[in-house]
Amino acid sequence: MAKPGLSETEKIVTIFGFLKCSPSLGSLSGNGSASLCVGQLAETIELSELKAKHGLSMNIKIWDFFVKSEFACKCGCGSDHISNTLVNMLDVARRTAGTSFRITSGVRCESHNDAVGGASNSSHVGGWAVDISTPDSRSRSKMIKALREVGFNRMGIADTFIHVDIDPDKSDDVTWTY
């Protein structure tokens, strides 16, 4: 438990012993969650839980390369229940690939999924999937290699995007093309 009278950052450091693997305390931002370093992947704790338990009011950056809003449903409904494990893996893959990952589709509500012609059992609806833009073949190759290295084993490959998911209700070790 953090001591009274400490700054917000001191409270976080006291509670966890450190902030997210980051070269500086400049890793603070407004996405609503806090993180701990566990190897290369981060285990997340909701900021609302931290606020309630420890009287914190700041927002802490979870990922180095992504913010939660990138994964929200594109229809504007506010649905943003993306899997933290999925984004943790993407964050490591992005670092490994050394190239930008632009998320073109993350979470989809049922209505938006229907509107874009998504599969009836789409992993996007459950927050288990993303589509990543691939601007060229060299970037696509780097992305695929990095995504495989961090453990993605469900992958769809198209000319302009890569789909990856970690849907627990679907078969592992599959790759398909669009």
Chain segment 73-132, per-residue pLDDT in tens: 999 999 999 999 999 999 999 999 999 999 999 999 999 999 999 999 999 999 999 999
Q: Number of structural domains, the chain?
A: 2
Say yes or no: 92 and 27 in one domain: no
CB neighbour class for 22 (10 Å; exposed up to 12, middle 13-18, buried from 19): middle
Alpha carbon of residue 29 to chain centroid: 15
Say yes or no: 46 and 75 in one domain: no
Whether 99 is in a domain gets the answer yes
Nearest to 139 by CA among 159, 154, 156, 164: 159
- Domain span including residue 22: 8-54
Say yes or no: 85 and 171 in one domain: yes
* Percent residues over pLDDT 90 in the chain: 65
> What is the pTM for the complete model shown?
0.69
Helix 47-54 × helix 8-16 angle, to 10°: 100
Residue 26 CA to residue 125 CA, distance in Å, equals 33
